[in-house]
Amino acid sequence: MRRTRNTRALLRLILVGVVAFAATGCSILSLKRTAFPGAAITDDGRGLYLDDINAILNDSSLTTDEKRQALQDLGIEDDALIDALLS
């Protein structure tokens, strides 16, 4: 019986350690966007995220010209890329 209690205590300790590692080391509790090395960035150093691009492209209240301007405001300067995104 004593061995069972020790085993349970050890398992609890391991579980607490794994949860603590996952919560801090794996950024589970982080609500900010993760910046990856080599990620696309705008001229002012902000990250360029697909969520932002999709929000513009899927906004039915915007005209094509307004979407083009919003994409440029986001930091996309390549007209060919903007044309491809809008088509």
Domain positions in the chain are 1-32, 33-87
Mean pLDDT of 7-26: 72
Does 67 have pLDDT greater than 90? yes
Q: Which residue has the higher pLDDT, 52 or 1?
A: 52
User: Which residues have a Cβ under 8 Å from the Cβ of 75 and sit 6 or more positions away?
Assistant: 41, 42, 43, 44, 46, 48
Mean pLDDT of 58-62: 94
pLDDT band, very low/low/confident/very high, at 24 (cuts 50, 70, 90)? low
User: What average pLDDT does the chain have?
Assistant: 78
pLDDT reported for residue 70: 93
